[in-house]
Amino acid sequence: MQKPSIPKGTRDFGPEQMSKRLFIFDTIRQTFQRYGFQPLETPAMENLSVLMGKYGEEGDQLLFKILNSGDFAGGLTEADWQAGAKKLTQKIAEKGLRYDLTVPFARYVVMNRHALPMPFKRYQMQPVWRADRPQKGRYREFYQCDADVVGTDSLLCEAEIVLMVHEVLRNLGIQDFTLKINNRKILTGIAEIIGMPGGPTGRQEGVLAVAIDKLDKIGQEKVLDELRERGFSEDAINRLQPIFGFSGEAAEMLQSLKSWLSSSDTAQKGIAELEEVWQLVNQYGLTDSQLELDVTLARGLSYYTGAIFEVKANGVQIGSISGGGRYDNLTGAFGQPGLSGVGISFGVDRIYDVMEELNLFPAGSQQSTQVLIVHFDAEARAVGLPLLSRLRQEGVTAEAYPDITKLKKQLDYANQKNIPYVVLIGSEEVQTGLLSVKNMVSGEQQKQTADELISLFSPSQL
Amino acid sequence: MQKPSIPKGTRDFGPEQMSKRLFIFDTIRQTFQRYGFQPLETPAMENLSVLMGKYGEEGDQLLFKILNSGDFAGGLTEADWQAGAKKLTQKIAEKGLRYDLTVPFARYVVMNRHALPMPFKRYQMQPVWRADRPQKGRYREFYQCDADVVGTDSLLCEAEIVLMVHEVLRNLGIQDFTLKINNRKILTGIAEIIGMPGGPTGRQEGVLAVAIDKLDKIGQEKVLDELRERGFSEDAINRLQPIFGFSGEAAEMLQSLKSWLSSSDTAQKGIAELEEVWQLVNQYGLTDSQLELDVTLARGLSYYTGAIFEVKANGVQIGSISGGGRYDNLTGAFGQPGLSGVGISFGVDRIYDVMEELNLFPAGSQQSTQVLIVHFDAEARAVGLPLLSRLRQEGVTAEAYPDITKLKKQLDYANQKNIPYVVLIGSEEVQTGLLSVKNMVSGEQQKQTADELISLFSPSQL
């Protein structure tokens, strides 16, 4: 007999995990909506013509491809078979699983551009799939929760993201976090200043961004070693030194940056953008702001062109729980250039781990049954069922043990499901109309009428 | 430049559809939970060893298969290439997309059986994929919303499903529906009585079930023609006649069935089960019951062994919106025999169509922005932003138009997003502190202080 298993890198989420995940999803969704973002869902499958070439060569390989249905092998020649996996894939697979939520969003915007309000604010919370090597904390199926605005370059959108990150995390109960912000134009300016400009290919600037991004993990010396290996001169590396010395208040750092990067127009523009974001955030009256400027924040080779965001929870050894930024050409690959946008993405798996480690899930997020009705016989059940209906009408999550069986078995079920209250109905209860209510935590037991019981359990009381 | 498209049979759900779909999902989820069902999610991808052979030969073909990653073609011989699509698939695809929620549920139960409370009540709301030919109302990706109990054969579970269907549909606003119930054992008995018993293969009973299932669509004569074609004798067809004559009160119908099928023990057992379900439903005190016995309800060649359910909304030409039943061997294929279960599945797409046609979506389900703040200049914006923060703190869905631009453009945005109220802030408002609030439906405009405005929009007022 076959022993069932699930694909590596994928997970089942049982009741306890799901209740906690739903709490995270609901909280993020509500906050996104309160900020005027509207829901979008796209199909799990996209045409490979939409996905390929959007995530670099490595990304193309990490796409899960779906075998064409029917006789996919019928029209193929021997030459097709022998052309290797990559060329053969084009002949036998037209579709793939979505790799992120950004490319499907760009496709949606282009396909529906005449019907959408502009600027268009959408959020999307769906799983994505990557054929990465699974390891601790890295899965082949995982959820992304993204909110983006496209169709405006107003920096008010950056300020809104700062506000929204604060609200999402506070609503989740994650009070102690750092929201780092930088601006890609500052990195561009730094690359210019040190004599390693990006140029039309952005290559050297990209090398700088990838290396700087590892500062937290590998330290300053190893970052510099990497730059040397990738062809940065000692002169360039010396000129780069100030980047490691920025700290303190954002306003002071911005002043120092202005003088260091005074010869780069691009850097000055990035600095001005950051100043405006700070000013707008202050106008909103954000209290207890956890926004910090970090000039070494780069987010790798990403397509960001303006603001860059990254969020970490303090006090836990878990990577960033959220990140995002501004991009200037979201839909260019689909024939609609010039749409600027800015977005933020929350990683549910990491947020889950943070909340678990810091014990932040509220007790109510378990969404378990509150009352189990236990019957001793069919006559007792006839008394219990109308009570069950009334409890549910009051909004109480309630069940009856389905079988008429030993008391112990029914109470074991209550314990296993963490049901806090049990109503016991036997012949005495049927005769007197007084029902026994047992608190499964304290063991306390008391007799009550059905009416008393209903008001005891109505949601405002629990 | 490439023109983007989505795979045939799949759909994007934009903001308006998503808001309505979320209303359906939330309503079903809340009701499932109130009845003690707990959430489960399984991965989109399952090993093909889990999926294959569970849905018949046709089902195997309709599975979407995922190409193995990496050099999937490397170790293959010419004989493999020439063995045809079916055999070749086994060599190049290990995983497939889930086809329903029942098989993944069975796999989960077997893999976690020692940790689960029994009976185990789970609900699952996720998309499934089928490589069916797309047509009106039939998609390649669609959601199922299932609730099942396994590990008990108590008929209380059937009664709970009857109650829960009523509550889900009432909470959705679908007041006029019919919940049909039958019992597979009655069909088995009828097949025996007419001399066409199922036998160990269940073949003739299956032919009867498939034909009878079409009664609504093709009528009595064509059902009988189909049975004749499939080898049913004229004698058998004559004996079958009473099946078309049952109507009226369930209690009377059950009496008539008892005498017609008196020689079949199996049928008598099915009748007794139905009687008990009815009795239990009455004990719950279900008012305005829309439960109806239909002895021609068969649900095709399905694996049901006891109760069968099907729900139709009245007054619309749309097929069943929900269905389910009892099965006796959910997990047998995975090495755990003898687990009886009963479940119900809601079809979100059809429910959506019914609610759209009957205009049942509540206005609030649109979840759009309630207030847009419109600025004439940066000075006005500095007044608007703290107001925006306060509105959101009160739970009001609010946004500011991000750019400082012409009034018309900002009002167009409000209209396109169906935002009912706009707060206009210009130099006069900045000076007087009185803000202009415009009702976008009536066109009415009035001046208010920020405090008045907050209380006007707090959720209890809207």
Contact B386 A13 (CB under 8 A): no
Q: Which of A326, A357, A388 is the last residue of a domain?
A: A357
In DSSP notation, A275-330 reads: HHHHHHHHHHT-SS--EEE-TT---TT----SEEEEEEETTS----SEEEEEES-T
B235 and B177, same structural domain? yes
Average pLDDT, chain B: 92
Residue A199: pLDDT band with limits 50, 70, 90:
low
| Domain contains B234 | yes
| Domain contains A104 | no
From chain B residues 14-53, the ones with a CB under 8 A of any chain A CB are 14-15, 18-19, 21-22, 33-36, 38-47, 49-50
A249 and A214, same structural domain? yes
Q: Are A184 and A270 in contact (CB under 8 A)?
A: yes
The whole domain housing B252 covers 151-357
Contact A111 B163 (CB under 8 A): no
| Domain contains A74 | no
* pLDDT at A360 > cutoff 60: yes
Picking from A1-5, B296-300, B409-413, which range would have the lowest pLDDT averaged per residue? Answer: A1-5
A272 and A295, same structural domain? yes
* pLDDT at A460 > cutoff 70: no
Separation of alpha carbons B371 and B391, rounded Å: 9
A388 and A312, same structural domain? no
Instruction: Look up the CATH number of the domain holding residue B171.
Output: 3.30.930.10
Contact B38 A368 (CB under 8 A): yes
pTM for this entry: 0.95
A contacts of B375 (beta carbons < 8 Å): none
Residue B189: pLDDT band with limits 50, 70, 90:
very high
Q: Which residue has the higher pLDDT, A107 or A364?
A: A107
B4 interface with A at CB cutoff 8 Å? yes
Beta strands A307-313; A322-327: pairing state = antiparallel
> What mean pLDDT comes out for the span B417-441?
93
| Residue of A22, A29, A41, A166 to mutate for B, most B C-beta atoms under 10 A | A41
Best CA proximity match to B326, nearest among B186, B142, B190, B208: B186
Instruction: Look up the CATH number of the domain holding residue A399.
Output: 3.40.50.800
Separation of alpha carbons A407 and A422, rounded Å: 11
Q: Which of B333, B357, B381 is the last residue of a domain?
A: B357
| Domain contains A73 | no
Picking from A10-24, B135-149, B186-200, which range would have the lowest pLDDT averaged per residue? Answer: B186-200
Q: How far is A150 from chain B (nearest CA, A)?
A: 11
Contact A386 B47 (CB under 8 A): no
Contact A44 B121 (CB under 8 A): no
* pLDDT at A416 > cutoff 60: yes
A235 and A304, same structural domain? yes
B399 interface with A at CB cutoff 8 Å? yes
* pLDDT at B1 > cutoff 60: no
Separation of alpha carbons A101 and A345, rounded Å: 9
Nearest Cα residue in chain B from A127: B44
A381 interface with B at CB cutoff 8 Å? yes
* pLDDT at B185 > cutoff 70: yes
Nearest Cα residue in chain B from A388: B284
**Counted domains in chain B:** 2
A108 interface with B at CB cutoff 8 Å? yes
* pLDDT at B312 > cutoff 90: yes
* pLDDT at B301 > cutoff 70: no
B contacts of A69 (beta carbons < 8 Å): 61-62, 64, 131
Contact A67 B62 (CB under 8 A): no
Within B84-189, strands assigned E span: 93-97, 120-129, 141-150, 177-183
Separation of alpha carbons A125 and A309, rounded Å: 19
> What mean pLDDT comes out for the span A352-361?
96
B180 and B287, same structural domain? yes
B280 and B178, same structural domain? yes
Kindly give the interhelix angle for A184-193 and A203-212, rounded to the nearest 10 degrees: 110
Q: How far is B382 from chain A (nearest CA, A)?
A: 6
B385 and B352, same structural domain? no
B266 and B234, same structural domain? yes
Contact A45 B64 (CB under 8 A): yes
A322 and A446, same structural domain? no
| Domain contains B8 | no
B contacts of A380 (beta carbons < 8 Å): none
| Domain contains B30 | no
* pLDDT at A462 > cutoff 70: no
> What mean pLDDT comes out for the span A296-310?
88
Q: Which of B331, B357, B383 is the last residue of a domain?
A: B357
B211 and B272, same structural domain? yes
B413 and B278, same structural domain? no
- pLDDT at position A449, please? 93
> What mean pLDDT comes out for the span A16-45?
96
* pLDDT at A198 > cutoff 90: no
Q: Is the predicted ipTM greater than 0.90, yes or no?
A: yes
* pLDDT at B3 > cutoff 80: yes
| Domain contains A240 | yes
Model confidence pLDDT, tens digit, residues A116-134: 999 999 999 999 999 999 8
| Residue of A1, A3, A12, A54 to mutate for B, most B C-beta atoms under 10 A | A12
| Domain contains A453 | yes
Calculate what percentage of chain B has a pLDDT beyond 70. Answer: 97
